[in-house]
Amino acid sequence: MSGQGEPSASVLLLRLARSRTLELGMSVIRSHFLFAAAVVAALVAVPCAARGQGARSDARGGPPGAPVSITDDAGTTLRLRHPAARVISLIPSATETLIAIGATDRIIGRTRYDVAPEVTRVPSVGGGLDPSVEAIVALHPDVVISWEHDRRQRTREKLTALRVPVLSLRTEDTTDAFRVFERLGALTGRSAAATALTERVHAAFRSVARASAGRPVPVVFYVVYNNPPMTASPATFIGQLIGLAGGTLAFPEHGPLWPTVSMEALVQRQPDVIVLPVGEKGVITLEKLRNTPGWRDLTAVREGRVATVPSNLVNRPGPRLGEAARALFDAIHSPAVEQAVRRRTTR
Q: Mark whether 306 and 273 lie in a shared domain.
A: yes
Q: Mark whether 328 and 221 lie in a shared domain.
A: yes
CB 40 within 8 A of CB 52: no
3-state class of 9 per DSSP?
Answer: helix
CA–CA distance, 156 with 114 (Å, rounded to integer): 20
Domain stops at, among 157, 184, 202:
202
Looking at the domain assignment, is residue 4 inside a domain?
no
Q: Mark whether 125 and 228 lie in a shared domain.
A: no
Q: Give the CATH number of the domain where residue 18 resides.
A: 3.40.50.1980
> Cα–Cα distances in Å, from 344 out to 32, 217, 234, 236, 336?
13, 11, 22, 27, 12
Q: Mark whether 292 and 305 lie in a shared domain.
A: yes
Over the chain (347 residues), the average pLDDT of each successive run of 10 is: 39 53 31 43 45 45 76 95 97 97 98 94 94 96 90 81 95 96 97 98 98 97 93 96 98 90 96 91 79 95 96 95 98 97 91
CA–CA distance, 191 with 319 (Å, rounded to integer): 14
Number of domains in the chain: 2
| 231 class by beta-carbon count within 10 Å (0-12 exposed, 13-18 middle, 19+ buried) | buried
Helices (H), 216-297: 237-244, 263-269, 286-290
Looking at the domain assignment, is residue 102 inside a domain?
yes
CA–CA distance, 80 with 57 (Å, rounded to integer): 17
Strands (DSSP E) found in the chain: 59-61, 68-71, 77-80, 87-89, 107-109, 143-147, 166-169, 219-222, 225-226, 229-230, 248-249, 273-278, 306-310
CA–CA distance, 207 with 144 (Å, rounded to integer): 35
Domain range for 57: 51-202
Region of 147 please: left (phi>0), alpha (psi -120 to 50) or beta. beta
Q: Mark whether 120 and 249 lie in a shared domain.
A: no
In this predicted model, what pLDDT tens digit does every residue of 256-301 receive, in sequence order? Answer: 999 999 999 999 999 999 999 998 655 688 888 999 999 999 999 9
Predicted confidence at residue 69, as pLDDT, reads: 96
Query: What is the chain's Cα-based Rg?
Result: 20
Looking at the domain assignment, is residue 68 inside a domain?
yes
CA–CA distance, 121 with 3 (Å, rounded to integer): 17
Looking at the domain assignment, is residue 105 inside a domain?
yes
Q: Mark whether 116 and 61 lie in a shared domain.
A: yes
CA–CA distance, 230 with 197 (Å, rounded to integer): 31
Q: Mark whether 39 and 56 lie in a shared domain.
A: no
Domain stops at, among 184, 202, 220:
202
Q: What does pTM read for this prediction?
A: 0.84
Q: Mark whether 226 and 91 lie in a shared domain.
A: no
Looking at the domain assignment, is residue 115 inside a domain?
yes
